[in-house]
Structure formats: structure tokens, C-alpha cells
Structure 1
Amino acid sequence: MSIDENRPRDWDAGLAELLDGGQPATGTHFDVPLDERPQRGGMPVEQPDPPAPQRDIIPAVLRSWPALRAEISATGGRWAHVAGFHAVRSPWYAGKTGFYALLGGFKLAGRQLRWWWVDEARSLEQHAADNADGTMWLKVHRESKSTRTFRGLVLIGEAAALLVGVPLMVAAAPWYATAGVAILAGLGLAQVGKPAGGQIVSRAQVAARFRKLNPDIVLRAYYAAGLGHPERPGQQIAFGSTMARDPSGTGSQVVIDLPYGKGLDDAIKARDKIASGLDVALSQVFISRDPSSHRRHVLWVADRDPLAVGAGRTPLLRCLQTDIWKPAPFGLDERGRLVELDLMWNSLLVGAFPRQGKTFAARLLALYGALDPYVKLTVLDGGGKPDWRKFSLVADRYAFGLAMTRDGDPVETVLEALRELKDDVQARYEKLSRLPVDVCPDGKLTRDIARNPKYDMPVRMVVMDEFQEYFDLGEASKEIAALLVYLVKVAPAAGVIFIDATQRPSGIGNGQIATQFINFRDNHQVRFSLRTGSYNMSDLVLGAGAYSEGYDSSTLLPSYKGVGILRGASDETPTVRTHLADADDAEKILKAARLIRERAGTLSGMAAGETVARQRRDVLADAAAMFTGEAGMSWQRLAARLAERLPEHYADITAETISAQLRALGLPSVNVKEDGRSPKGVKLIDIGTAIQRRDR
């Protein structure tokens, strides 16, 4: 089919009118009406440039007393430093001035003598003699003698003026005038006498390098970081505020407007390039969100590295009762502002290299929970370090290390604690669902319910250090891993707080255990990463996507102890310097916490000296009870029947778990006949034999 055959009849007429310079006739183009003549109005294709931002009538530094005070303090501090620096060195300056003035006197006298003798005439006389030009030599010689005579008279006049004028001034002029002239003369002679390039007054050098920002430096840094271009339309960096000192007086800040299409995440990713452009250390540059626009942010540049300064001792050393429903003090951010954590309904993962303050950070929050007498503590330390031993003063359940002790097997204690916790969580949901609306409005635990012993639902805090050890215990790890995954997913909403620390966030083992480790790690809402070995490890602690957003704990310096990146606790992701609580501080706080609990009557469990009853199931008898006339049963069917008939004990049992438990007791895994198949399982006669052998 050709175009000509299907061309509308009015197409040629419209084309002819266009060629003649006229307007096309109104008609149809296929089935769509042609446009009418364009009317005036509408929007231009290219939008005009936005109006230039207006400068503040009153600078930001003058709009608030804290900012003005910080600016005055910073300026006054710099001048005071300069004044003090030079005041201390003033005797040295006076000695140098006197020495250089003496040298300057000799230098000036030498210059005067050379001027009187007309040194340059000697070369002219020598030149005439070399050329045997006697007439020129005599002429130069006569002119030299005449010049020396005149200049000699001038020097005699200068000497007479000095010999007469100086005594007269000393005798007749006021002392301050004499002193002033002497000082000026001495300074002038010192300038003549000092070596070329030498200085009498040294430059005041402060201990820390101080970068005074200005708009040109900031623009240079942002353009060098590739966040804009100074000459391309619409790609310029703009300022949303004037450059000013921040209220804390520890740095300078300014609001930056990036070009359209660029955002906060771009600036955070380019933070290292911005620091290079500003010619400061990376640890001095901080970028924070501005709520008004995603392309706008606040740039804050610290005068010196704020992370190298410790946050000081924990305020918990006051040993006052705390309230778990209120935020816990955790440390200071890069600007020195207090960072507090809401622990309720959250779980916290702490990860880091060894000896970077991981245990100290987790212990800070555990100490806060210990000072609230209405919080039931469970402390499980897979590493068995001394850091957690004193928690036996207050913890309802505790287990330290993995080796057998006089108190029993720590692994058994961990298992029983987790089993009891799971039962408690399930019972809580049942109780909460039955409470009246006026007592439990949203079906959630409240402060009144948690503190009322009638309901028996106190807030619980589970603290696990080096929890990776519990995933590497062989058969026991299967049940522990299953319990931990269940609890970290379900328990926080029932008022159970998890604080878990590890130095191996990458995982451990393989197969199902490795998968459960990852599930457990990734179900923590709040993440705190101290220094790690690589950006991959940082992402495992902080959560997927942290590195792409510009957060990398591997960039923290080895000297930063107790410093880490806190993600997920709020809209911001600050770098936090945690408060310090060493072993002596922790012991003092825990002793006070025990007294508070004794007065409140809430000391319980192992801390109160109670022997924790371990619920032991006779797995052989339970397995035998599942047989209903069969000679043998597959592991899969046996696990299903145990979970169905004894859910309070075997709800999470799997074929692999029951197989491992019975084989550990000496039962063989054999082929059994079931539904026309021959799967692996156990025979009833072998279970009976094992029971008889055990009883004997």
C-alpha cells in the first residue's frame, strides 16, 4: 500500500498553503482533527531562570544570642590567643630588636662611608686607565674629589646634629618623647640589621589547624566534588544561608542548595571529595538533612577533629533510678549534642572489630536497663569475658561462656532462658488480647501494665555479647538459632528489648544455621557499628544500603575507641562517641541497681539466689508415645506428630532436629516402610531398647 493511494484529499491543499507561506487549512489528518491556529498565552517551552535568592536583612549570626555569643567567643578567643602568644615572647622580641638594631647601626655606618667615598668612581677610573685615556681619568678623578668633599661636609653635619641634638633632646624633651624616638630609631635600625627574609615577631601558631571558611572555598570544594558546574546553566551551587559559626562554637556551618537533580545522598557520597576541596580532614566534615528540600542540606565543618575527643563518663554514675520508657543516654554526636536511644519496641545490633568498644557500648544500655527495677534482665555472654560477670547482681537469668561450671552447663542455661522467653512472649500476646480496651487501648503493652505485678508482664531486656558463639555449638545451635530468630522477629512488640553484640557480623557455619544467623542479624531495627575492617563488613552491621548512602564505619580511625555510626534510631545517622563506663563504674552502678531492686521488691531469678528449674523432656518416651501400632516411623512424620501433640515443647521441631537428638542417644537411622516408600526413620523396638539400656 503506497502513501499516495491513502493520502487524504485535503493533504495536498494544506501542503500547498504551507509552501505559499499561508496557514494550513483546518481539516482532518487521518481520523484526528488538525490543530487550530495557535492562540496567544500558555507556558513558554523554556522556563525562565528562578529569581535570585535574597540576602538576609539581618545576618544569621545576629539573629540569635547563642550564635552571636559563639561568634564573639570564637573571635575573642583567636585574638586572646594571639595577644597571649606575643606577650609571653615579648622579652625575646626586645632582645632580638636590640641585637638587630646594633647590627643595623654598623650596616648604616658602612653604607654612609661607601656613599661618601663614591665607590662607583673607582670602576670608572680603572676603565679609563685600562684604555690609556688620561683625559678621562683626570676628569673622573677631579669629579670624585669634588663629590667626596661635598658628601664629607654632609656627613660632618649629620654627626654634629647627632652629637648636639641627642643630648639636647634628652635634657629638654619629656621622657616619653625621648623613649618614643629611641624606640622608633631602634625599630628602624633593627629593620636594617635583620637578615633578608628574617622576622623579629613570630607568627602566632595555634595548636590545632584552623580552617576559616568562606564562600569561595566552599564553592571550590563542591565543584571539585562534581556536585555542580560553575559555568553550565542550572548547575551552580547556591547558598541558603550566610556562613556563620554554629551555636556550639566548635565549627562553621552554611546551608547549601545543590543543583536540581542532586540530593542529600549525592553530597554524603562525595563527603571525602568535599573534605579534600575544603583542605580539611574527612572527620571534620559533616552533612545533615534540611527538612525543607532534598537538594538542600547543612554543611558543618568542625574546627578540629570532634571524634578524637572523648564523651566523658556516663551520667548513669549518679546511680539514680531510670525509666526504660524514656530514652537512654548513649553518648555525644559530632557536634557535642547528647544522643539518646529509645529502647522500647526496638532491638539493637552492635558490631565492630575486637577492642574498639563494642562490649562497652552494649553494656552502657544494659546498665540503663539494670537501674530500672521493673526491667527483667537476661544476660548471655558467649565469650565469657569479665565485662559481664557483675550483672549476676541483678540479672534474672545469666550465662557466661560455654564451659561447664559449678553452676551447670551455660548452654543449657541459654536454652532454658530462650525457651522460657518464647513461652512468655506467646503468653503475653494471649493476655494482651484479652485485656479490656480501657486498660490496653491498642492491644500493646503499656507502662502501667508492665509495672503492675497483677499482669506479670514486665519489660524484659535480653543482652547477648558475642552471640555468634551460640550458632557454633553443633546440634544445640539448631534449637538456639530457631528460638533467636523467632524472638527477634516477634518479641520486641511484646515488650522484650534485644541488645546483641558480635565481632563476626558476616555469619558462621553453613546451611540452615548460617541462614538463621543472617535472619537474626538482619531483623534488628537499630544498628551501631564501631570500626570495621571493610565497607562490606560495615554494611553487614549497619544494614544493606548504608555504604551507598555514604556511611562506612571502616573509615573510622583505629584511635577512635567507643566511636561508631548509629543508624535506624532516628531520621539522622550520627557518628556517636559513647559515654565511658569502665569495669569499676559498671560495678558501682550494678550495686546501686541491686539496692534499688531490693527496695522495689523486684529482684528475681538467679540474682535472688533462686535455682532455675530446668525443664527436661524425656525425648525417648515422647518419641515412643507417638507410635500407634507402627513398627517404624520416618523422621518427618515423627517430628510432625511431636509438634502436633506436644506443641508446648516441640512446636519448632524438625526432622533433622529429632533425628539428631535420638541418634545422639544411640539410636540408628534406618529405612522404614511408610506409604509404599522407604524413607529414613526410627523403629519402635530400637527406642524400647534404648530406654531399657538407659534405665539400667
Structure 2
Amino acid sequence: MSTTSTEHGEREAQYIDLAAYQDPETLDRLELLARAARETLRTTPAGISDLSTGTVRLDKVDEAPADQLDDEAGVLEVLDEREGWNLRRLVPESLTDMGVWRQRRAEWVNASAFHALRSPVYLWRAANVAALGARVGVRDAWSYVFATEYGDIADKVRRTKAGPEHIADLRADRRKEARARRREPLTVYSLTGCSTYLGAVLALGETWGWIMAAPVLLPVFGILYALGRREMIRREPDGTFAIADAVDFTGAGVLTDEGLNTALRARSVGILKDDESVTVLGFIAREPGDRASVVRFELPRESGKTAAEVGAKRKAIAAALAVDSIQLSIRQDGHEGSVYMRVADAHPFGGEPVASPLATAEQWDIWDGAPTFVDETGRITAIELLFFGLLVGAMPRQGKTFTARAAAAAAILDPLCRVIVADGKGGKDWAATALLAEAYVRGVTEPAVRRLTHVLEDLVKEMEAAYDALFELPDEVCPEGKITPEIVRDYKVFPCVLIIDELQRYLENQGKENEDDKLTYGKRIEEALETLAKVGPAAGLIPILASQKPTGDAVPSAIRDAIPQRIAHLCATYQMSDSILGTGSSASGWNAKELAPAFKGMGIHADETGLRFIRSLLIKLPAFRVICERGRSLRIAAGTLAGEAAGQSGRAARVGGILADLLAVFEDNKLPERLATADILDGLAQLDPSTWAPAALGVGEEDRAAYVQTGGTELRKALDTALDGTGRSLASRGWSKGGRANGYYLDDLRQAAGIV
């Protein structure tokens, strides 16, 4: 231990040698860890070593064993500068990024195709320039050989009205100069060469054919083209001349820096001014699969523009790039002025729908999400159903049932996930789920709506019981107050998927339980759903709701707002689209009304991360039945098959036997507050005549009193046996004068069944 002092003698700091307090084994272990860390560091870009870097050692050379002087002792452990070299640090990123190389290849391929298609135009232009060169060449040669410039001088002298002797002198000089030029070696050689070349071409054409002679004319064509190009430049010295056009990648899906800036400067876009440009971060690259160009860029800070403004102009930018708006993806990437853009080469959802991988999966874990759709990159996406749920909305026949089915398949294949289904359409779309669902409601008839009402109200009570169970768990087991995989496995608090298709049909129902009820079935369903959607997720309640008309007058906003994950297929109006995706989504460029109806299952997905285009995975009815059969087998093997799928009537999940039969009798009588023992026995006799019919109890059918007395006694015995060890009981009660036991109350039965 040592200290340091200031110049005034005050103690400033204290150094403690922690190594002195460690045992030798601990020191050896720390040294090994330090060595491993140094070796790992050498392999990273930050670990590039040179002769000036190393690890300081505190060992003293004279105290170290002689056999360890080389690698254990010393003042400085010098690293070999050749170790840890990272070539990626030395080579420019543009040469090592495969995405950049794919982008270059796409540019080369598209440029080659562009020029190839325009090659006839280029050939015509070159021919015109060569023709101009021929004219200019003949003119200049004639002018040189015959000294025509003297003729121009003579014309000027004539205009000055000079004497004829001057004109005669000029003509004499011209003839003299012309003869001299024609005798020059250059002129003679040129004429000889041209005539020889022409004779050779004629001979070759006559001998081998004019097609074979055509390549021989290329040098002449090149010379004439050069003469014509020089003449065009002479005529327009400030102009630009090029045979080939600048490559235009517009519509090809290949994005370039110039194309990006041009699109953002377009009048309809107005993101950039004429003198502004974006800053591309890195390089424009092609994503794996070579189907799209991706770029990250920053907007000019002085412009004050944001990524949200760029996203709102998605359709205008797509028009400037000459692509369909579905091919363009824009989102914020980092700060407000940083943008990620993806431009696909073609419509990302063309071709046949992609089959769901769950069609062949033997089992699934709901905690791994639910494969529901493919995104614009073609990747299958598994959405999180737990704690989020799903709301699907669309016009009729636009794929909302397929989307809900794809998401529900994940829950069906999880044997620890409960399933409740209500199909307001009443068709065969969800019929296969009856094989495993604790409750399956089909159609919107009065019994079906009444049934769903009680199912949801019972589910609210089950949710409250689940919260009570979570409340009793230690914080170490339930740290966030919601279910976990361990709680599901060890404490049997199972997640429950509530699937309701054509939800609006149930909410529109105006029927009542009886005339004294204040609320209609539709209102009771709405209140129960609102409670489940708002409060249920932490207890494992997962709503999957589908509606043709998810606007406020059909599906209340309180229910919609409680489900953060939504999918909108083709909608009739932008208001309907906003009601699903969120207010203002259409103004931001995400409008399900504008989706292409030709691509069934195409939609827009919205969650807490933003919005994106998707196409639902496909599960046809035969495949869906196979999935449901597999889900039933999984639940039988796990011992979790319950409710109606297990032959239990009513909502008595995990309750069977006499309790389920009693609930069925109450349901057959439209769930009255109470039922007399005689009526209950009549109902049980219809369900199971071999046990509860008068003959089975050993009494005559005409002796009603004996039947009620004997049957009542057997019923009490059956109930006592069923409830033995549960801590619950069920006894008959009286409601008539005299205190006699007349029968059983529905609330008592539900409490005994454990569903309240």
C-alpha cells in the first residue's frame, strides 16, 4: 500500500495492491483470463498491433525463474506487428462489401442493356456524323487541292472595285498555288493511298463478297466520324456532343446517387432544392438475393426536412423513380434526418402466395411468435402474438380470414395454449378448430350469440383468477407481473387465444337475455372484449379479431386501440384504413384503399416499430384441418385437451363429468338463474339415459316423486365424488316456502366448476 502527496504535503490518493490480497490460484486464473483476452483482442480491428504496443508486466526479471524469462517475465510484452492484421481495415469498404459489388454489377448489366437497346439510334447518329465528315472532308480536300481560298480573296477584291489587273494577278497566283499543292508529296501519297485502298476494297468485295469487305471500311468510317465530330464541335464550341445517351436507370429498380437526388428534387416531391444534395452514408448496395437497391442517407441539415416528410412523399418519389409505390420502402434510420430507402426491381408480392411453414411443422411454441406473412424483402415474418394480439380488417374477400388463420395456426400447434373460436361468418373457415377449441361458436343465431356472451364473461372471470394466481407468485418467479414460459410450464397458467371472425356481426346484435336486462348481447360482448383486450395480455389472453368494417360505428375504438398490432388488407375508404392502421396513416403514405386488388392477401402491417407492406402466408382449408388434427393430438398427449373438444359441455375448461353435464343442462335451458332438481334430472336423462333415466335408477317412470328423490340422492353423491379433494362443494338450495331444497343455482354451479 502506498500513498501520494500534494506539494503542500496533503495526502492526495492511496494505491492498494489488490494482488496482495488474492491467493495464488486466483492470481493464476486471472492471468490466464488476461492472456485469453489479449489473444482475442489481437484478432479484432482494434487489436492491430505495431512495435510500440504491448502489455506492461510488473514482474521483475531477477525474481522470475530462469526458464520463464522469455514468456513470463519482463517489462514489456511486445506483440508481433504481423499478428492481428485486418485486411478489411486496409482495403476500402467499396472493395469488400458484396452488396456494393452487387450494385455495381446491376449498374453494369442495366447500362449494357440500356445501350444495347439504343444501339440502332447510336448507329444512325454515328452514320450522320460520318456523312457530315465525308462532306467536310471532300470540301476541305477540294479547297486545298484547288486553292479555293484565292477565289474568296478575289471576290472581296472585286467588291472593292479594284482594277482588273488585280483580279488577274490573284487568278494567276491561285493556279500557281494549286499546281504546287498537287505536286506536294503529301497530296500524291494521299491520293495514291486512297485509290489503292479503294481498289483493295473493290477487289475484296468482288472476291469474298461485300459482307466480308464491310469490316475493312471501319477505318474509313472512323476517320469520317472524327472529321464530322470536329466539325460539330467547331459549329457549337460551347455545346456538348455525345453519340451515346446518359444511362437512365429510372424504372429499372437500380438506384444511383444521381437518380436519388434527381427524384428528391422533382417538383412533385420538393424535398431538395436544385442546389441541394443528400449525403449517402456508405454506398448504395444491392441486398442479398439481388432484388432491390438499398441506401441510407442524410438530408441536408439546413433544409430542415425529416425522414417522416420523405416517407409522406413516397408515392411522388416512386413516380419520379418510375416504379410502383409498392416497390419503394422508406423509413427513419437513426435521427430524424436520416433515411433508409429500398427500391425493389419488381413488385415484391408478385407470383403465387407463399405457403405457411406451419403446414408441415409438427409442433410450435407460441413464445417464438406466429409466422403470418412475408414482408417486401420476401422473408417470412413471425409476429409476436403474446402481449400484442392481432386485429385484421378489410373489405369482403380480401384475405383477412387467411391472415387470422395463419396467425392462429401457431397457437393451435402449441399444446400449452388454449383456443376459443367464434366464427361470425358461420361457414367452414374455422370448423376444424372444434377438434381442439375449448369453445367453438358458429354463426350469429340467438343461441350462438348468447353462448359467446357467456363465454367472454366467463373468460373475464378466468382472467381475474389468473391475475390472482400471478399475484401470489414470488417476484423471482413473476418479476414483471405477467406470464412467462416458466410460469406456463410450472404453474399451469396457460395463455389463451381468442379468435373472433366477423366481429362486427356479434357487436351489432340487439338481443337481450330477458326483458329485464339493461344491456344487449352486443353491448355485453363489447364490454367483455374491451376488458380482455385492455387487461388480459399480461395474463396470456391473446385476441385475434377480424372484421369487415373496423370503423368506429362497428368496432369501437376502445377495442381497436387496445390491440397495438394490426393488418389492413384492401379497404373501401381511407377512413377504414386509418381505423385499422391508426389515424393519420393515410396522410403518411400508408393507405390500404390503394392496395392492388390483383394480389390477394396483400396488406399493410402496423406495430410499435412502424408500418410495412406484407402478403399473408397461405393455409388452405385441407392443410388447416391437418394442423388442427395435429393440435388435438398434441393436447391429448400433453393432457391439456379441455372444454368442448374434450367432450365437456359449457365453458368448464378442464372440468368434466357431472359438472360439465350440469352446465350443459343449464345451457339447454337458456342459462336460467336456477333449475329445479326434477328439471335437472330430465336434462341429465336426455344426455345420459343409461345413468339418469328412471329405469336406470330402478324406479318407474310414472312414479315422479320417487324418481326425483332417488335421482337427487344419486346426483349429490356424484357431485361429492367429483369435487372430492378440490376444496369446493355444491349443494342444492331452496327458494320456495317451507325451506325445502328445490334445486341448484347457476352461480353455485360455476363456482364449484372453478370457472368464476
TM-score by length of 2: 0.56
Return 161-170 or 72-81, whichever deviates more.
161-170
Q: Aligned partners of 1:437, 1:89: CA distance in 2, in Å? A: 73
State the partner residue of 1:340: 382
- Equivalences for 1:99-248 in 2 at 5 Å? 161=196, 165=200, 181=216, 208=252, 210-214=254-258, 217-218=261-262, 220-221=264-265, 225-227=269-271, 229=273, 238-239=278-279, 241-248=281-288
State the partner residue of 2:471: 433
Which AA in structure 1 matches 2:327?
Q
Say whether residues 1:589 and 2:622 are aligned partners: no
Q: How far apart are 1:382 and its partner, in Å?
A: 0.3
State the partner residue of 2:411: 369
State the partner residue of 1:272: 315
Equivalent pair of 2:110/2:249 in contact (CA under 8 Å)? no
CA deviations on 1:90-124 (whole Å, 9 max, x unpaired) are 9x99xx99xx9xxx9xx99xx99xx9xx9xxxxxx
State the partner residue of 1:536: 575
State the partner residue of 1:4: none
User: Which of 512, 519, 523 is residue 478 of structure 1 equivalent to?
Assistant: 523
Q: Aligned partners of 2:595, 2:508: CA distance in 1, in Å? A: 30
- Equivalences for 1:547-562 in 2 at 5 Å? 547-562=586-601
State the partner residue of 2:657: none
Return 573-582 or 608-617, whichever deviates more.
608-617
Distance verdict in 2 for CA 1:357–1:63, change over 3 Å: farther
Which AA in structure 2 matches 1:483?
A
Q: How far apart are 1:567 and its partner, in Å?
A: 2.0
Distance verdict in 2 for CA 1:442–1:280, change over 3 Å: closer
Q: Aligned partners of 1:562, 1:66: CA distance in 2, in Å? A: 41
User: Which of 444, 447, 459 is residue 485 of structure 2 equivalent to?
Assistant: 447
Which AA in structure 2 matches 1:362?
A
CA deviations on 1:169-209 (whole Å, 9 max, x unpaired) are 99xxxxxx999637767999999xxxxxxx999x9999956
Say whether residues 1:576 and 2:614 are aligned partners: yes
Return 154-163 or 553-562, whichever deviates more.
154-163
Equivalent pair of 2:569/2:604 in contact (CA under 8 Å)? yes
Which AA in structure 1 matches 2:294?
S
Q: How far apart are 1:68 and its partner, in Å?
A: 2.2
Q: Aligned partners of 1:370, 1:448: CA distance in 2, in Å? A: 20
Equivalent pair of 2:296/2:333 in contact (CA under 8 Å)? no
Distance verdict in 2 for CA 1:246–1:168, change over 3 Å: closer
User: Which of 547, 554, 576 is residue 502 of structure 1 equivalent to?
Assistant: 547
Q: How far apart are 1:495 and its partner, in Å?
A: 0.8
Distance verdict in 2 for CA 1:59–1:211, change over 3 Å: farther
Say whether residues 1:410 and 2:448 are aligned partners: yes
TM-score by length of 1: 0.61
Q: Aligned partners of 2:244, 2:278: CA distance in 1, in Å? A: 44
State the secondary structure of the residue aligned to 2:610: coil
Equivalent pair of 1:286/1:301 in contact (CA under 8 Å)? yes
Return 577-586 or 341-350, whichever deviates more.
577-586
Structure 2 stretches lacking a partner, 5+ long: 1-86, 147-173, 183-187, 206-211, 227-242, 512-520, 651-662, 676-732, 738-744
Q: Aligned partners of 2:642, 2:330: CA distance in 1, in Å? A: 47
Equivalent pair of 2:671/2:746 in contact (CA under 8 Å)? no
Aligned residues: 542
State the partner residue of 1:287: 330
Q: How far apart are 1:646 and its partner, in Å?
A: 12
State the secondary structure of the residue aligned to 1:499: strand
State the partner residue of 1:519: 558
- Equivalences for 1:654-673 in 2 at 5 Å? none
Q: Aligned partners of 1:65, 1:392: CA distance in 2, in Å? A: 58
Distance verdict in 2 for CA 1:356–1:256, change over 3 Å: farther
State the partner residue of 2:100: 71
Distance verdict in 2 for CA 1:314–1:556, change over 3 Å: same
User: Which of 392, 398, 422 is residue 356 of structure 1 equivalent to?
Assistant: 398
Distance verdict in 2 for CA 1:459–1:215, change over 3 Å: same
State the partner residue of 2:339: 298
Which AA in structure 1 matches 2:493?
M
Q: Aligned partners of 1:609, 1:646: CA distance in 2, in Å? A: 18
Structure 1 stretches lacking a partner, 5+ long: 1-57, 119-142, 171-176, 192-198, 509-513, 630-641, 650-696
State the secondary structure of the residue aligned to 2:331: strand
Q: Aligned partners of 1:643, 1:482: CA distance in 2, in Å? A: 22
CA deviations on 1:407-433 (whole Å, 9 max, x unpaired) are xx4334323422331221122122222
Which AA in structure 1 matches 2:598?
S
Equivalent pair of 2:201/2:216 in contact (CA under 8 Å)? no
User: Which of 270, 286, 309 is residue 350 of structure 2 equivalent to?
Assistant: 309
CA deviations on 1:524-544 (whole Å, 9 max, x unpaired) are 222221222222111111123
Q: Aligned partners of 1:355, 1:66: CA distance in 2, in Å? A: 50
By relative contact order (CA 8 Å, sep 6+), the higher-ranking structure is 1
Which AA in structure 1 matches 2:196?
A
Distance verdict in 2 for CA 1:401–1:189, change over 3 Å: farther
Equivalent pair of 2:370/2:410 in contact (CA under 8 Å)? yes
Identity %: 28
CA RMSD across the alignment: 5.9
Equivalent pair of 1:319/1:593 in contact (CA under 8 Å)? no
CA deviations on 1:55-84 (whole Å, 9 max, x unpaired) are xxx999x87699821232233345457779
Q: How far apart are 1:507 and its partner, in Å?
A: 4.5
Equivalent pair of 2:419/2:437 in contact (CA under 8 Å)? yes
Q: Aligned partners of 1:588, 1:238: CA distance in 2, in Å? A: 53
